[in-house]
Amino acid sequence: MAPKLPPASLELEYIYGSSRKGCKGDIMKVNNRGHLVYPSAACAIVFDSQRNTQKIYREHTDDVQCIASHPNNQVFATGESGIGDGVIHVWNSNDLRTLATVNTSRWFKSGGVIAMAFSPDGALLAAVGGNPLDSQLLVFDWENGTLVASTRCSNRRTFYLDWNPIDNTIVWLGKGELKFFEVSNGAIRAQQGDLASLGDAQSFYDVVFNPVSGNSYVSTKEGNVYIFKANRMIGKKQLHNGAIYCLASSQDGFVSSGKDGLVKIWKFDMRPGVEFTQNGELNVGYAVDSCIAGPDSVVFTRGYYNNRLERFDPQSGRDELISLGHSAESNRTELWALDTVPNSNLFFSAGDDGRIMLWNKKSRYPVSSRRVPRTQFRGISVTPNGAQVAVSTMSGDVFVYNVQDFTGGEPDEQPNPQTSFRAGTEEIRVMRFSPDGTMLAVGSRNGKIYIYNVQNGYSKVTTLEGHTSCITALDWSTNQTYIQSTSGDSSYELLYWEVASASPVKQVTAMRNVEWFTQTCPLGWTVRGIWDMREYKNGTEINAVGVNFERNLIAYVDNSGDVNLCRYPTLSNNPPRSKFMGHCSRATNVAFSTDGEHLFTCGAEDLSIFQWKIVRNHEPLDEVPQTRQERRQALNESVKQMSDSTKNPQLGRSSVLFRTTAKEYGSKPVNQVSRHTTWRGIDGKFSKGFIGGMYRNNSLNTSQSRNRVLKDTGFSNMDNTL
């Protein structure tokens, strides 16, 4: 019987966090319905903050790093990084319809799209991209899919691009330079910003325009606004103490925010020499990198790597938190730890930012956010009764908290652990409580698994030693007698352990009928089909696996950021699966809610948590059979070609993972293996030089060592297969 499609599909319901990886300048917008529009990972979010609901645009295949608003505030353009094709999508924010798609790879090569702006009439779209230190400026008739004009932009870093609605010039801002471009008769004329001895060359971050005079107000690193008439500077005003990162137009003025932690509201004043006057202020206390003015409030976010959105009402002076997420002080911060609280709507996450966050999937609000300074969290596990949560760090520390302590309190308040201990000195990515909650297994990067007695104050009981590299996953058997574990890096081991004796199981056939309380190990008989040979060449590409509590769905996430869904168990090679995109790079963890209604995934670099609604008996989406590259190719074929498609690199992974010496699997009868079964490895670290067979402890052998092969595997089909 042919393998069946999974009995469910996924719909992306909500994204916790607003990742802005690679974004520069003002990246928050407001549409014609008053909803916030901003990028997150490889998506664009239309956020109704009053109802706390989201519409999510998911046609991109890479990081969305810039956004532009059409003059009607209903249509938006989003541009992606250049790891893929540097695609620009123009779409309707009310119904998420794609209106146009522009592939910029011919001009921008691998640099991607850095900044964009619509013309005052909305007919043209200007885009800067390519090498950040040798960028190009393109102007498109986006509706007809034609390139109107192009020119070299600058050898300085780009911070912002906008189109003056009064004098119809394009204003480009960068590091130490600003330029003014005029588009006419298919050509672009560039003029350098003339400081006229009134100002200094420095970083220029943002710009707004006076709706009457057409003067440009340009924000600077030193805290001034430089005032330009055409391309010539005519004056300046000190607005902030320190860099002004954002200027956002309002109904009768603009809003400014910057490094000094102040959000200021300004009103245009047409008196000669005045230009504008201050009309309000909020002291946030942290640098504010982006803000947007609505009809009666200002929404802002703190810092480039901070996922905190707040709303300020100038009339009442009230400051309200409307969205929260994991944050970072650099682009090296990652998010790995994710687990659900059994029999509830709650789930936990913990990241390199030192935050432990408790979420409610029904209300889609954070219940609490706790922070341990100078700590990087990598693993998390909740007890089966939902009473305690253990969180592990990059340095081998484990903290245990009472779940009930994660209610109330101020955001980022430091929590008090019930207990803490050290399990080695290296990263701990995986932990798992036993089914009855009396023991905790902790897997370290040093290849050891430490077992702790929960009822005896988390005292160490024993250590399981045998893996040759870092522990990536582990599961308890339902009867708590056994543990299965996998390790990563170059070993790709699956080992079985008898907990009482702290020894590896010598007969792998004894594990055939063992029932596992969870299935998070990416290697094993019931999950072998997830290793699609077209997609994965390296055995570390799948980062996490989860099986739902009904035991009919398996979800797994990989280094491409894909979320995959299959029927469980996966006993055949390359079983039918559904693939869902949205994370911008590595997706690192996955967890099913205990009620079977939702799936949660998190991304390493995008610092975002995706909440997927599980739709039963749903027809697979059109994207299901496509790999990420196949989807890009289909996209390129559907758009009006403005580039030479032969120059697009073919990045698809279609080569086989390994090839055996046997012509037919399972054709060889059961026998004593007297010599190694040798595979002819092809290019790729995971497959090259495979020896195959079994380790002496009966785990799968996928290493290159020739001294770890068992003579009798016990499986007739294993003599010639991996």
The answer to whether 520 and 476 have CB atoms below 8 angstroms apart is: no
Q: Which amino acid is at 35?
A: H
Neighbours of 368 (CB within 10 A): 19
As a dihedral over the C-alpha atoms of residue 16, residue 21, residue 25, residue 27, rounded to 10 degrees, the angle is: -30
Cis peptide before 6 (omega within 30 of 0): no
pLDDT at residue 225, rounded to an integer: 98
The answer to whether 345 and 54 have CB atoms below 8 angstroms apart is: no
Q: How many CA atoms lie within 13 A of 393 on its CB side?
A: 21
The answer to whether 270 and 261 have CB atoms below 8 angstroms apart is: no
The answer to whether 239 and 281 have CB atoms below 8 angstroms apart is: no
Give the residue extent of every domain in the chain: 23-192, 335-616, 659-722
Catalogue the long-range contacts made by 353-358 (C-beta closer than 8 Å, 24 or more residues apart): 353/326, 353/327, 353/328, 353/329, 353/607, 355/326, 355/327, 355/412, 356/380, 356/389, 356/391, 356/401, 356/406, 356/415, 357/324, 357/325, 357/326, 358/403, 358/406, 358/407
Cα 289 from Cα 259, distance rounded (Å)? 8
Cα 172 from Cα 152, distance rounded (Å)? 12
Comparing CA positions, the residue from 335, 332, 344 lying closest to residue 407 is 344
In sequence order, the 6+-apart residues with CB closer than 8 A to the CB of 595 are none
Burial of residue 272 (number of CB atoms within 10 Å: 0-12, 13-18, 19+): exposed
CA triple 272-275-279, angle to 5 deg: 130
Cα 703 from Cα 121, distance rounded (Å)? 62
pLDDT at residue 309, rounded to an integer: 86
Cα 207 from Cα 589, distance rounded (Å)? 40
Q: Does the domain at residues 335-616 carry the CATH identifier 2.130.10.10?
A: yes
SS3 509: helix
CATH of span 23-192: 2.130.10.10
Comparing CA positions, the residue from 101, 89, 2 lying closest to residue 42 is 89
Cα 404 from Cα 370, distance rounded (Å)? 13
pLDDT at residue 236, rounded to an integer: 95
Q: What is the mean pLDDT for each group of 10 consecutive residues in the chain (722 residues)? A: 80 88 76 93 94 96 92 96 82 98 88 94 96 94 94 95 96 97 94 95 96 95 97 96 94 93 92 89 87 83 70 84 83 91 97 95 94 95 98 98 89 92 96 98 96 97 94 96 89 90 91 93 91 74 93 94 93 87 91 96 93 78 48 50 37 33 38 34 40 43 41 38 38
Q: Phi-psi bin for 582: left (phi > 0), alpha (psi -120 to 50), beta?
A: left
As a dihedral over the C-alpha atoms of residue 208, residue 282, residue 65, residue 56, rounded to 10 degrees, the angle is: -110
pLDDT at residue 698, rounded to an integer: 46
Q: Which amino acid is at 173?
A: L
Q: First-to-last CA distance in the chain?
A: 23
Q: What are the backbone dihedrals phi and psi of residue 700, each rounded to the nearest 5 degrees, phi first?
A: -65, 135
pLDDT at residue 536, rounded to an integer: 77
pLDDT at residue 317, rounded to an integer: 80
pLDDT at residue 1, rounded to an integer: 54
pLDDT at residue 99, rounded to an integer: 97
Identical fold, 23-192 and 335-616: yes
Burial of residue 373 (number of CB atoms within 10 Å: 0-12, 13-18, 19+): exposed
pLDDT at residue 2, rounded to an integer: 60
**Tokens of residue 190, six digits:** 């560039």
